[in-house]
Amino acid sequence: MPVPETTTMPETTMTPEKTAMPEPTTTPEKKADAISAAIAELQVLLGGRLSTSAAVREQHGKDESWFPGHDPDAVAFPNSTEDVAAIVRICAKFGAPIIPFGEGTSLEGHVAALEGGICISLANMKKIVAVNAADMDVTVQAGVTRKQLNEHLRDTGLFFPIDPGADASLGGMTATRASGTNAVRYGTMRENVLSLTVVMADGQIIRTARRARKSSAGYDLTRLIVGSEGTLGVITEVTVRLYGIPAAILAGVLAFDSLEGAVESVILTIQSGIPVARIELVDEESIKAINDYSKLDLPVSPTLFLEFHGTEASVAEQAELFREIADDHGGGEFQSATRTEDRNKLWQARHDSAYAAMTIRPGCKVFASDVCVPISRLAECIHETKKDLDEIAMPTPILGHVGDGNFHVVFVVDPDSEQDMADAKRINRRLITRALAMDGTCTGEHGIGHGKMDYLIAEHGAGVAYMRLLKTAFDPQNIMNPGKILRI
Amino acid sequence: MPVPETTTMPETTMTPEKTAMPEPTTTPEKKADAISAAIAELQVLLGGRLSTSAAVREQHGKDESWFPGHDPDAVAFPNSTEDVAAIVRICAKFGAPIIPFGEGTSLEGHVAALEGGICISLANMKKIVAVNAADMDVTVQAGVTRKQLNEHLRDTGLFFPIDPGADASLGGMTATRASGTNAVRYGTMRENVLSLTVVMADGQIIRTARRARKSSAGYDLTRLIVGSEGTLGVITEVTVRLYGIPAAILAGVLAFDSLEGAVESVILTIQSGIPVARIELVDEESIKAINDYSKLDLPVSPTLFLEFHGTEASVAEQAELFREIADDHGGGEFQSATRTEDRNKLWQARHDSAYAAMTIRPGCKVFASDVCVPISRLAECIHETKKDLDEIAMPTPILGHVGDGNFHVVFVVDPDSEQDMADAKRINRRLITRALAMDGTCTGEHGIGHGKMDYLIAEHGAGVAYMRLLKTAFDPQNIMNPGKILRI
């Protein structure tokens, strides 16, 4: 086995790759001309469904992170896959950049129009195409959000589990290989997307797979598009697996007298094979913010938010097994929430924790780290990171989908403060170096965007060359979300 | 959503694609010279670990299917990833074809050296590299077989569930995206491979991912190699997920008075969310063969083989829920096997059913169909197929991983009989046409090999062009298992 590429990560690996960068084949002027020409044709195609207003452009050039916005030159609002294909064909003809946009909830600058170009908003594509209840799957247009989908499914007895917190679109969740609180039990978008309809960079429409639960028919185009962040094509329809709503759901919170105790309890819960549906770590600092923001009065202590799914008997059994573990690690009383409204309030509070964190320092933004490590290294990784955080002044609540080994330090930064930004970047780099040395990843669920391109190289080493071959083969003009994932 | 490419499949789609085929750039003579030159260098590199003996070559040119063998010109036996890289670099230098070989248990002619060249056998690469019990994963060299792995894990309380029947190598299982009896509960190789070490066509070694349970770091190179059938690179190491051996395992068989009743029971079991670990259909004809071959006396009737995993309480609950469904659909008594040896005997018999089928007609071979359809269409698909089978004389037992919608008609053919081969091919084509019209796939788990390349086109339509781009980008000389999956 080749040694992991990076166990320590010197400063130099954080600079762009040291391959000779080819001269750009187009000058900025030529690019601007190409974009103008594309806009002129798009106006004929779309009429009022193309906007060049400053407000609309600004709104579509930034996500929920601290990254500065980069406005696209125009925003297109297609209604159908065929509309998207027509838009892409026009952009391809002129070589104009294309940036797909779902709900704008990403966290690594994914939607920034770094080279200008046309934003394709999926806001008009919110149709539920087909609920196949008997097969437990559903096909939706890519603009459908997870909450909209679950609302639609309410009377079917089925639900879509993947839940990244934000009410993201299914297309966006696919593009970033999203996961979130339920992934420990139900998997991520990687495991739950059955098939995609995608408009490729040349305007061709492909469907990546059939609805069969499994297939050995050729290269896995579905998984190739999942996580490709709009750099290989525009996702227009998504078919995902659904699950029966469990007969019994038991949620609750449990405070610990130490962070270590909480993390150790998670590790043992996973290693014991308790099929927990959610097991989320929320540190003391987050609890304070959540209590203020969501009007709760949780004990201010490192806490696990949990949920068990199954039959009445099985959730009781799971909770009991978990309580035994927690008792041995300084856990307090398990405060259960069985009523739907209490459960929803609890999870809404957990999901709002990033927003809650921002209220700690009004006017500030979120800079979220996102490492994921093998669970045997989780306690050590968090422990070492806490020591780093003692060095700096800004609020840094920790939250995590710890059942998967994934956690976030939420640096609450003032993006105009050089000190803040330098501190956050330095400690994030140390965290990623640590995670890679533990055979972990620089991003569990947020993606690369343009914020982590150097870390991708540190993580994948020789593999990056093949990602580059792939990108160049599928998008030879580099018009699909250029400047994300890879430098071309 | 684009309509599925093919709802009826005319004869003409079964001929090679109608794009102009480029002239071959090498003549057969040049290719033979290239292979000879590669062999000369490989002999220096490997000495006795390169064989050109007729017996060894013949043994490595065929799999377990009816497909005629095509012998490679030499068989190399590397000990390590670095050995494989050195072999690939030599082959790449001369443009000699490379065919990776695990245990030779594939079913679509995957290992046939259609253009001659060098077979790379993984027979010497059977090391268990690292058991990470705390993370529930293991890294093995690609030649390790699933039984060898589970034997090694015996004292850890962990097991590797994927079980395609044959004692295949982990590398081969990865290459064909294998699944089998446990996939309904634990997923396929697609869901269970965490990371791969791969020697690419240019001799570069890459590791496709870290051991983190999830990652959003760039294109999913792991899933790109899973199912690539040796056409993109040689898999040398595999890291897979492991699972805790369940506290309780309850297996058993249940005979039905009709095939329809058995299939309907499966569909309802899945739709009810009973987390069955195995649910296998074995038809009357298969039961007869199994009874003879494995010395059992199962009632000769359509039968389900089942297994439930969980705690004592939960397996009892699952079995009870299943029995209620079976009772409504003409199911008989549930004959349970709780002792390990009884359970093993049962599953060995199920796994040996293909070998059992061959004994029905001594000297004959297996021609296995492999469609997988959305479960709501499974009963209809099997019913229509049974009607087709009434037309022909040869034995055609039906077996299936029906919880996934996957089943096999096992045509027991005399490969020398034109009538047999024409019958099997005609009915298999009708079956695949039917499955595709139901939004299913032409292969649930066996792969494309060189037997299903036209069906891949029928299934993927426009998507095939992107598979071709990918293959050409990664393997511009087309030396990696040429003639499989795609015609280049």
Q: Which two tokens stand for residue B210?
A: 């870290």
Question: What is the CATH number for A176?
Answer: 3.30.465.10
What pLDDT digit, counting tens, does each position of B262-297 carry? 999 999 999 888 999 999 999 999 999 999 999 989
Question: Measured between alpha carbons, how far is A163 from A159 in angstroms, rounded to an integer?
Answer: 11
First-to-last CA distance in chain B? 29
Handedness of CA A301, A306, A312, A318 (dihedral sign): negative
Tell me how far apart the alpha carbons of residues B90 and B399 are, in angstroms, rounded to a whole number.
43
Q: What is the DSSP string of A133-164?
A: GGGTEEEEETT-BHHHHHHHHGGGTEE---B-
Q: How confident is the model at residue A430 (pLDDT cuts 50, 70, 90)?
A: very high
- In a mutational test of the B interface, the residue from A216, A239, A245, A263 whose CB has the highest number of chain B CBs within 10 Å is A216
Neighbours of B219 (CB within 10 A): 29
Q: Which residues of A touch B442 (CB under 8 A)?
A: 217
* A203-261 pLDDT, tens digit each: 999 999 999 999 999 999 999 999 999 999 999 999 999 999 999 999 999 999 999 99
Sheet holding A365-368, edge to edge: A331-337, A248-256, A303-310, A278-282, A398-401, A406-413, A365-368
> Cβ of B135 and A375 within 8 Å?
yes
pLDDT at B21: 41
- Tokens of residue B54, six digits: 């007729």
For residues A46 and A56, give the distance between their C-alpha atoms in angstroms, rounded to a whole number.
16
The answer on B187 and B308 residing in a single domain is no
pLDDT band with cut points at 50, 70 and 90 for residue A468? very high
Report the run of H or E that residue A216 belongs to, with start and end. Answer: none
The percentage of residues in chain A with a pLDDT greater than 70, rounded to a whole number, is 95
Q: Do B436 and A243 touch (CB under 8 A)?
A: no
Strand partners, A233: A200
Shortest CB distance from B217 goes to which of A191, A219, A442?
A: A442
Asked, for residue A105, whether it belongs to a domain, the answer is no
Cβ contacts from A onto B, under 8 A: 304
Q: Do A266 and A409 belong to one domain?
A: yes
Contact between chains at A227 and B205 (C-beta distance less than 8 A): no
For residue A212, give the nearest of B204, B216, B374 by CB distance.
Answer: B374
pLDDT confidence bin for A25, thresholds 50/70/90: low
Q: Cβ contacts of residue A454 below 8 Å, gap of 6+?
A: A13, A14, A15, A16
- Domain count along chain B: 2
Contact (Cβ atoms closer than 8 angstroms) between residue A471 and residue A414:
no
Q: What percent of chain B has pLDDT over 90?
A: 85
A76 strand-pairing partners: A50, A120
Q: Are A333 and A254 in contact (CB under 8 A)?
A: yes
Same domain? B347 vs B362: yes
- Which residues from chain B sit within 8 angstroms of residue A375, using beta carbons? 134-135, 213
In the 8-state DSSP scheme, what is residue B313?
H
Give A354's pLDDT tier (boundaries 50, 70, 90).
confident
Among A25-34, A132-141, B333-342, which is the least confidently predicted range? A25-34
B423 against B7, higher pLDDT:
B423
Q: What is the mean pLDDT of residues B35-54?
A: 98
Residues 6+ apart with CB under 8 A from A21: A487
Token pair 């000769």: residue: B300
Last residue of a domain, one of B244, B279, B309: B244
Residue of A26, A193, A196, A169 whose CA lies nearest to A100 = A169
State the average pLDDT over residues A42-59. Answer: 98
B206·A466 Cβ contact <8 A: yes
Phi then psi for A351, rounded to 5 degrees?
-70, -30
All residues of chain A having their beta carbon less than 8 Å from the beta carbon of residue B313 are 313-314, 317
Q: What φ, ψ does residue A320 adopt, rounded to 5°?
A: -65, -45
Report pLDDT for B17. 39
Shared domain for A239 and A252, answered yes or no, is no
Is position A384 within any domain?
Answer: yes
pLDDT for B287 equals: 94
- Asked if B109 reaches chain A (Cβ–Cβ under 8 Å), the answer is no
Question: Which of B194, B184, B182 is closest to B146 using CA atoms?
Answer: B182
* Domain assignment of residue A268, yes or no: yes
**Residue at which a domain ends, from A217, A244, A271:** A244
What's the whole-number mean pLDDT along residues A53-61? 98
Please report whether residue A472 resides in a domain: no
Question: Is B22's pLDDT higher than 70?
Answer: no
What digits encode the pLDDT tens for the residues B140-199? 999 999 999 999 999 999 999 999 999 999 999 999 999 999 999 999 999 999 999 999
Identify the sign of the CA torsion A70, A76, A82, A86. negative
By C-alpha distance, which of A342, A256, A263 is closest to A303? A256
Secondary structure element (H or E) that encloses residue A280, with its range: strand A278-282
Q: What is the CATH number of the domain that holds A292?
A: 3.40.462.10
Residue A213 lies in a domain: yes
Provide CB contacts within 8 A for B113, sequence distance 6+.
B60, B61, B70, B71, B72, B73, B97, B99, B119
Residue A466 with chain B: CB contacts under 8 Å:
200, 206, 221, 474
pLDDT tens readout for residues B320-346: 999 999 999 999 999 998 788 889 888
Q: Do A188 and A231 lie in a common domain?
A: yes
Residue-wise pLDDT for B409-432, tens only, equals 999 999 999 999 999 999 999 999
Q: Is residue A422 assigned to a domain?
A: yes
The residues near B462 (Cβ < 8 Å, ≥ 6 apart) are A204, A205, A206, B2, B5
Q: Do B219 and A227 touch (CB under 8 A)?
A: yes
Residue A330 lies in a domain: yes
Query: Residues A261, A388: one domain?
Result: yes
Report the interhelical angle of A453-460 vs A418-437 (nearest 10°): 20
**How far is CA B321 from each of CA A312, B272, B328, rounded to the nearest angstrom?**
15, 9, 12
- Closest partner residue to A441 (CB to CB) among B191, B215, B466 is B215
* Mean pLDDT along residues B15-37: 66
Residue A321 forms part of a structural domain? yes
Same domain, A290 and A310: yes
Q: What is the pLDDT of residues B99-143, one digit of tens each?
A: 999 999 999 999 999 999 999 999 999 999 999 999 999 999 999
Q: Please state, in angstroms and rounded to a whole number, the distance separating the CA atoms of residues B443 and B149.
A: 26
Q: Residue B311 above 90 pLDDT?
A: no
Q: Are residues B240 and B316 in the same domain?
A: no
Using the predicted structure, report yes or no on whether residue B222 has a pLDDT greater than 80: yes
Identify whether residues A303 and A381 lie together within a single domain: yes
β-bridge pairing B74-76 and B118-121: parallel
Quote the pLDDT of residue A337: 86
- The whole-number average pLDDT for the span B446-455 is 97
- Shared domain for B266 and B239, answered yes or no, is no
Domain range for A233: 128-244
Mean of pLDDT values over A339-357:
88
Select from B214, B217, B191, B223 the least CA-distant residue to A373. B214
Q: Is A372 on the interface with B (CB under 8 A)?
A: yes
A358 band by pLDDT with thresholds 50, 70 and 90: confident
Of the residues B437, B464, B482, the one at which a domain ends = B437
Residue A273: is its pLDDT beyond 90? Answer: no
Which residues make Cβ contacts (< 8 Å) with residue B475, sequence separation at least 6?
A: B201, B231, B232
Give the contacts of A380 (CB within 8 A, at least 6 positions apart): A438
Contact A190 B214 (CB under 8 A): yes
Q: How many CB atoms lie within 10 A of CB A334?
A: 18
Q: Smallest Cβ distance to A216: which of B267, B439, B443? A: B443
Instruction: Say if residue A240 is in the same domain as residue A363.
Output: no
B465: which 2 tokens?
């062009």
Same domain for A307 and A206?
A: no
- Asked if A223's CB is within 8 angstroms of B467's CB, the reply is no
What was the pLDDT predicted at B313?
A: 86
State yes or no: pLDDT of B24 exceeds 80: no
Distance between CA atoms of residues A297 and A287, nearest Å: 9
